[in-house]
């Protein structure tokens, strides 16, 4: 035993002497030359160390070098693939005797790394002299090298990091095939772990597109994570464009998978898209997105369940799935929402969102200052951002000025064509179903609408749909129309379709048509009306067609205990003009039709004098020997002279 101890002491002494003496007998320049030659042989690239080099074996193995660079692949845009101001490595000596690599310090100062993909698809981090074959990188993403097998993992399992740091680093990426490029700078990172089977902590920050992103990560067992076994993980990302936290478990190979509780907060999706280099068109939607719930991530697929969601002014709960693995993001979900306002997402005109019409005006004023339907070009680019399938239960839905109560909505968005199917519709005290389709896939936006409504309070519906205060009553409405155009006015001018209307116990608002008819028949005065300012009816029904924006009706039936009547005429939707005729149904008496004309927010009502005279002439012809004075009442004679 004593001899063994003496032998060990002799060996230790020799190691110490060698460590002290070696730097004197092995010139640093010779060491540097051997290192440069070894790198050249293994990679085919040139390693340069233009600054001083320091190497020590005791008390720890220490290596430092300044002004280090590593050349780029032949034909690369950047001169060097990597360069750094200084490198410092410090390894503990004694753990090496047991096969453990204990790193006290590994610090890179001012590293600049240029990642490039050539036109042939070969990335510059592939080396011509390597024996392993590496598949070319995909066009838009640089992937980390794959795990090298069990032997490498066994070696890494005996790795300890006290301080691995990157100070003020810069990484750039360019793909010459697609033109995609990005750069991240101000990279500061610190990593520490006692071993791959021990907890690892990492914290740092990076500046990308003029925004600083802070990252904190802890992995319970890095070896398990890289080996495909689930291990506890905590992650926090904090920045102005996006904030995300995760607590759960995950694996890193062969595909990243995470399961746990997540909290995502994006103050503005528009700002995030612009920051990511894919700006969205101007508009009012796509602001706040906040999601809390259970998350499952597998590669490019993200799923939230039991989620509490806030999207712009929309709030609700349910589940959302997001797949970014295809040519376009795909969103699928089921949500129960408080209030759903579709206006920001349905081709709102730039700078104005929807185009609400102020009360009493003919539809508001467009961006060009023109009163009526807006002529501002409709922007449907937002419909091209993603594809989606959603089931939405909402306490309320708003579409343009139409307000809908508790409803169920199925939304399908594919290739810029949005179909909103209202399978359950509660609106204006009534119920029904409806469907709205907005097609933004072509150069000219198109819209289709169909509704079947029952028990609806018609007055507020017509006001909100077209700023018309003409009819009131409870009734049913069927409508199916379609149109296309580059502006709201263009779409209205192209509308085509058909429908029907039936009202019970209602009024024609603002005018007593029955009074006009009676008074005209008595020839009191063309402008004199009877008592009251409305025309009451028990039922009003009719059908209509729409061609090039002009609504035509010829079978109106108005049932009133005072004076029933029929009606026919047109409503020019683009011009907001009404040209209509109501005819009383009075057997054996003078029936005076009433003409309704003018802009629909300022209608005029007048008796059809020509029709009255025609009726009087017919009566005269039917009564031989009688004069006009004997047939036509004295009051009517007074209007036109005896």
Separation of alpha carbons 64 and 346, rounded Å: 61
pLDDT band at 359 (very low <50, low <70, confident <90, very high): very low
What confidence tens digit (pLDDT) does each residue in 36-73 have?
888 888 888 899 999 998 877 777 778 888 999 999 98
Residue 246 pLDDT exceeds 90:
yes
Candidate from 366-370, 471-475, 586-590 with smallest mean pLDDT: 366-370
Asked if the structure places residue 122 within a domain, the reply is yes
pLDDT at 44: 87
Asked if the structure places residue 518 within a domain, the reply is yes
Asked if the structure places residue 255 within a domain, the reply is no
pLDDT at 471: 80
H-type alpha helices, 542-608: none
Asked if the structure places residue 476 within a domain, the reply is no
Full domain range(s) for residue 499: 495-640
Report, as an integer, the average pLDDT of 1-16: 50
Tally of domains in the chain: 2
Mean pLDDT in the chain? Answer: 79
Q: What DSSP character marks residue 95?
A: G
Asked if the structure places residue 229 within a domain, the reply is no
pLDDT band at 611 (very low <50, low <70, confident <90, very high): low
Residue 624 pLDDT exceeds 60:
no
Preceding omega of 551 cis (within 30 degrees of 0): no
Contacts of 285 (CB under 8 A, 6+ apart): 312, 344, 345, 348, 382
Report, as an integer, the average pLDDT of 542-557: 96
Residue 98 pLDDT exceeds 70:
no
Cβ(295)–Cβ(303) below 8 Å: yes
pLDDT at 122: 87
Residue 639 pLDDT exceeds 70:
no
Report, as an integer, the average pLDDT of 338-361: 54
Q: What DSSP character marks residue 365?
A: B
pLDDT band at 27 (very low <50, low <70, confident <90, very high): low
Q: Helix, strand, or coil here: 435?
A: strand
Report, as an integer, the average pLDDT of 380-408: 88
- Which one is predicted more confidently, 539 or 611? 539
What confidence tens digit (pLDDT) does each residue in 304-315 have?
899 898 988 888
Q: Rounded to a whole number, what is the largest CA-CA distance in the chain? A: 160
Any long-range contacts for 633-638 (C-beta under 8 Å, 24+ apart)? 633/522, 633/523, 634/523, 635/522, 635/523, 635/524, 636/523, 636/612, 637/523, 638/523
Residue 481 pLDDT exceeds 90:
yes
pLDDT at 140: 41
Separation of alpha carbons 182 and 108, rounded Å: 22
Residue ending a domain, choose from 195, 230, 253: 195
Cβ(560)–Cβ(578) below 8 Å: no
pLDDT at 159: 63
pLDDT band at 412 (very low <50, low <70, confident <90, very high): very high
Report, as an integer, the average pLDDT of 265-294: 87
Report, as an integer, the average pLDDT of 522-526: 45
Report, as an integer, the average pLDDT of 384-395: 91
Contacts of 355 (CB under 8 A, 6+ apart): 348, 349, 363, 364, 366, 373, 374, 400, 488
pLDDT band at 147 (very low <50, low <70, confident <90, very high): very low
pLDDT at 10: 52
Asked if the structure places residue 157 within a domain, the reply is yes
Report, as an integer, the average pLDDT of 133-145: 41
Asked if the structure places residue 121 within a domain, the reply is yes
Separation of alpha carbons 167 and 159, rounded Å: 22
What percentage of the chain reaches a pLDDT higher than 70? 76
With left for phi above 0 and alpha for psi between -120 and 50, is residue 336 left, alpha or beta?
A: beta
Residue ending a domain, choose from 195, 219, 247: 195
pLDDT at 41: 86
Asked if the structure places residue 445 within a domain, the reply is no
- This prediction's pTM: 0.60
Return the residue matching tokens 């993980």.
233
- Which one is predicted more confidently, 611 or 410? 410
Candidate from 140-149, 220-229, 472-481 with smallest mean pLDDT: 140-149
pLDDT at 518: 66
Cβ(90)–Cβ(105) below 8 Å: yes
Residue 557 pLDDT exceeds 90:
yes
Which regions of 18-73 does DSSP assign to beta strands (E)? 47-49, 53-56, 60-71
């Amino acid at each position: 035993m004593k001899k063994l101890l003496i032998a060990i002491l002799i060996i230790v002494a020799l190691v110490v002497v060698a460590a002290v003496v070696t730097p004197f007998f092995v010139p640093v320049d010779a060491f540097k030359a051997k290192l440069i030659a070894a790198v050249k042989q293994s990679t085919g690239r040139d390693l340069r160390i233009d600054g001083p080099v320091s190497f020590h074996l005791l008390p720890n193995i220490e290596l430092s070098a300044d002004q280090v660079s590593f050349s780029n692949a032949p034909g690369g845009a950047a001169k060097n693939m990597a360069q750094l101001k200084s490198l410092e490595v410090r390894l503990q000596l004694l753990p090496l005797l047991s096969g453990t690599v204990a790193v006290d310090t590994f610090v890179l100062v001012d590293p600049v790394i240029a990642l490039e993909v050539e036109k042939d698809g070969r990335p510059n981090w592939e080396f011509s002299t390597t024996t392993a074959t590496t598949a070319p990188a995909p066009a838009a993403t640089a992937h980390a090298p794959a795990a090298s097998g069990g032997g490498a993992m066994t070696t890494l399992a005996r790795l300890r990091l006290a301080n691995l740091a990157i100070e003020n680093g810069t990484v750039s990426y360019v793909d010459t095939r697609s033109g995609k490029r990005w750069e991240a700078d101000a990279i500061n990172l610190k990593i520490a772990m006692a071993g791959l089977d021990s907890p690892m902590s990492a914290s740092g920050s990076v500046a990308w597109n003029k925004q600083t992103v802070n990252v904190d990560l802890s992995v319970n067992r890095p070896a398990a994570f890289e080996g495909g076994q689930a291990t506890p993980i905590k992650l926090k990302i904090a920045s102005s464009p996006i904030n995300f936290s995760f607590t759960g478990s995950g694996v890193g190979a062969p595909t990243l998978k995470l399961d746990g509780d997540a909290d995502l907060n994006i103050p503005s999706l528009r700002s995030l898209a612009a920051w990511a280099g894919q700006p969205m068109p101007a508009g009012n939607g796509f602001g706040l997105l906040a999601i809390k719930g259970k998350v499952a991530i597998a590669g490019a697929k993200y799923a939230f369940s039991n989620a509490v969601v806030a999207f712009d002014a929309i709030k609700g709960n349910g589940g959302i799935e997001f797949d970014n693995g295809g040519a376009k993001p795909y969103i699928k979900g089921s949500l129960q929402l408080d209030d759903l306002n579709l206006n920001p997402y349905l081709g709102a005109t730039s700078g104005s969102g929807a185009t609400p019409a102020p009360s009493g005006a003919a539809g508001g004023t467009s961006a060009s200052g023109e009163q009526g339907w807006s002529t501002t070009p409709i922007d449907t680019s937002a419909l091209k951002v993603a594809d989606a399938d959603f089931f939405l239960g909402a306490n309320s839905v708003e579409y343009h000025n139409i307000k809908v109560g508790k409803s169920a909505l199925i939304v399908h968005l594919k290739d810029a064509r949005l179909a909103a199917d209202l399978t359950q519709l509660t609106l204006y005290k009534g119920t029904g179903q409806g469907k709205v389709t907005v097609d933004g896939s072509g150069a000219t936006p198109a819209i289709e609408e169909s509704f079947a409504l029952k028990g609806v309070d018609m007055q507020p519906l017509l006001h909100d749909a077209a700023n018309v205060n003409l009819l009131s009553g409870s009734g049913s409405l069927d409508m199916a129309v379609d149109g296309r155009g580059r502006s709201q006015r263009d779409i209205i001018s192209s509308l085509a379709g058909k429908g029907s209307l039936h009202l019970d116990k209602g009024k024609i608002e603002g005018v007593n048509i029955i009074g006009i008819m009676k008074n005209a028949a008595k020839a009191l005065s063309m402008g004199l009306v009877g008592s009251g300012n409305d025309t009451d009816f028990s039922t009003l029904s009719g059908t209509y067609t729409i061609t090039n924006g002009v609504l035509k009706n010829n079978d109106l039936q108005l049932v009133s205990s005072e004076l029933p009547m029929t009606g026919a005429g047109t409503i020019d939707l683009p011009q907001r003009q009404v040209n209509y005729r109501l005819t009383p149904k009075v057997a054996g008496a003078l029936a005076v039709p009433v003409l309704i004309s003018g802009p629909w927010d300022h209608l005029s009502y007048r008796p059809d004098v020509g029709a009255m005279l025609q009726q009087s002439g017919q009566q005269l012809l039917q009564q031989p020997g009688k004069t006009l004075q004997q047939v036509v009442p004295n009051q009517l004679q007074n209007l036109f002279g005896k």
